[in-house]
């Protein structure tokens, strides 16, 4: 009997060592420790033993069972490791490969222009601020010196939502100027921000869409003046249109939230059906601006005897059309794949001042 145990251990251990894979190992486990297995068979034989033999052989048989189980477990670890290594070498995924070109989308010209604008103003020391598309009356109008009876409210063709439980009517912001208010309430001057984003007015034709994009600029400090406004806009437009000379015309205008207020035109040429900046004798209006009205500063609890500054608001869609030569604004929002393929930008070419804004 003792010899049987020793032989069986040698035999099974050799089989285990030779098992080539997990399935073979499982076969050996069943044929040795399973219900009809060899070790189990020996244990069954204990029933015929005398009590003395059983006392001697019992622990030995049990020891065999434990040993075989341990050898199987050890071999399983080795085979598991080998199986994993085999999978790791056969299933490769090269993360450095670029995606298949035909599956790659393009960056929409508006996103591109927004990135370009943020890049230029970042180099001038501006932060990017944001506000909600869904505004309230206070931020979109009242704090901007547009009281309820003011005619400018009609000018804005506002989309209103149904009144809420408190009777308050939210609206889709008609311009990015409410971000001026949110910024001045939230932070102490000096303030230097731009706020690009979506804006909404009930208006639709070749040059107007109900949703469009603006970028707001706001600078508040103790001695910021109109000269700074002019210099800032000139630096921005030169960098944006990537031309050395941009001629600007500041025309007196009116906005409730700035005093004095101006509209800015760029000198350009319309010859040949395309707009060219930096040449010609035509003028194209591109933005509104002015010195922040003291009533606006007061609405934000800033002391107009201490602080002053300028603001501007510029249509991003208009800038994109000018720079990249599209002539129908509505195409921006048609989501036509062919148009995007033609006018879109490569996703991996992020605009930078050093590397060039557009290429």
Q: Is 312 in the site for ligand PHE (CB under 6 A)?
A: yes
Q: What is the x/- site pattern for ligand PHE, positions 313-332, by CB under 6 A?
A: x-------------------
Report the site for ligand PHE in 243-282 (rule: CB under 6 A).
255, 258
Give the nearest distance from C-beta 257 to ligand PHE in angstroms: 6
Q: Is 351 in the site for ligand PHE (CB under 6 A)?
A: no
Q: Is 233 in the site for ligand PHE (CB under 6 A)?
A: no
Give the nearest distance from C-beta 167 to ligand PHE in angstroms: 27
Given the rule CB under 6 A, which of 4-12, 117-125, 243-251, 305-313 is the region that contacts ligand PHE? 305-313
Q: Is 175 in the site for ligand PHE (CB under 6 A)?
A: yes
Residue 37 or 290: the one with the smaller Cβ distance to ligand PHE is: 290
Q: Which of 201, 217, 205 has the alpha carbon at shortest distance from 121? A: 217
Given the rule CB under 6 A, which of 35-43, 202-210, 300-308, 309-317 is the region that contacts ligand PHE? 309-317
Report the site for ligand PHE in 85-104 (rule: CB under 6 A).
none
What does the alpha-carbon distance between residue 64 and residue 82 come to, in Å, rounded to a whole number? 27
What does the alpha-carbon distance between residue 11 and residue 108 come to, in Å, rounded to a whole number? 72
Q: Is 293 in the site for ligand PHE (CB under 6 A)?
A: no
Q: Which of 285, 274, 264, 290 has the alpha carbon at shortest distance from 324? A: 274
Q: Is 178 in the site for ligand PHE (CB under 6 A)?
A: no
Give the nearest distance from C-beta 346 to ligand PHE in angstroms: 32
Residue 183 or 258: the one with the smaller Cβ distance to ligand PHE is: 258
Give the nearest distance from C-beta 87 to ligand PHE in angstroms: 60
Q: Which of 224, 18, 249 has the alpha carbon at shortest distance from 126? A: 224
Q: Which of 226, 225, 245, 227 has the alpha carbon at shortest distance from 237? A: 245
Q: Is 177 in the site for ligand PHE (CB under 6 A)?
A: yes
Residues at the interface with ligand PHE (CB under 6 A): 175, 177, 216, 255, 258, 288-290, 311-313
């Amino acid at each position: 009997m003792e010899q049987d145990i020793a032989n069986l251990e040698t035999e099974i251990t050799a089989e285990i060592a030779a098992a080539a894979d997990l399935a073979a190992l499982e076969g050996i486990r069943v044929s040795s420790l399973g219900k009809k297995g060899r070790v189990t068979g020996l244990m069954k034989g204990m029933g015929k033993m005398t009590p003395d033999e059983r006392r001697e052989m019992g622990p030995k048989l049990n020891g065999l069972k434990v040993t075989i189980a341990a050898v199987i477990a050890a071999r399983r670890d080795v085979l598991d490791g080998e199986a994993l290594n085999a999978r790791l070498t056969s299933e490769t995924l090269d993360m450095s490969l670029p995606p298949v070109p035909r599956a790659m989308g393009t960056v929409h010209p508006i996103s591109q222009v927004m990135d370009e604008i943020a890049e230029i103003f970042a180099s001038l020391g501006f932060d990017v601020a944001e506000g909600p598309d869904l505004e309230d009356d206070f931020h979109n109008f009242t704090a901007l010196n547009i009281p309820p009876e003011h005619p400018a409210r009609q000018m804005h063709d506002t989309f209103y939502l149904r009144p809420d439980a408190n009777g308050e009517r939210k609206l889709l912001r008609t311009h990015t100027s409410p971000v001026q208010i949110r910024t001045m309430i939230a932070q102490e001057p000096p303030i230097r921000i731009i706020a690009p984003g979506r804006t909404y007015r009930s208006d639709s034709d070749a040059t107007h869409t109900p949703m469009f994009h603006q970028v707001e600029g706001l600078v508040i400090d103790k001695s910021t003046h109109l000269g700074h406004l002019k210099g800032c806009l000139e630096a921005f437009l030169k960098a944006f249109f990537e031309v050395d000379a941009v001629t600007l015309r500041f025309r007196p205008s009116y906005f409730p939230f700035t005093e004095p207020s101006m509209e800015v035109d760029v000198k350009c040429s319309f010859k040949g059906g395309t707009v060219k900046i930096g040449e010609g004798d035509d003028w194209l209006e591109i933005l509104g601006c002015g010195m922040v009205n003291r009533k606006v500063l007061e609405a934000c609890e800033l002391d107009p005897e201490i602080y002053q500054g300028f603001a501007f608001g510029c249509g991003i869609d208009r800038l994109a059309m000018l720079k990249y030569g599209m002539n129908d604004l509505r195409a921006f929002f048609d989501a036509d794949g062919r148009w995007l393929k033609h006018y879109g930008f490569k996703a991996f070419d992020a605009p930078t001042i050093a590397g060039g804004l557009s290429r």
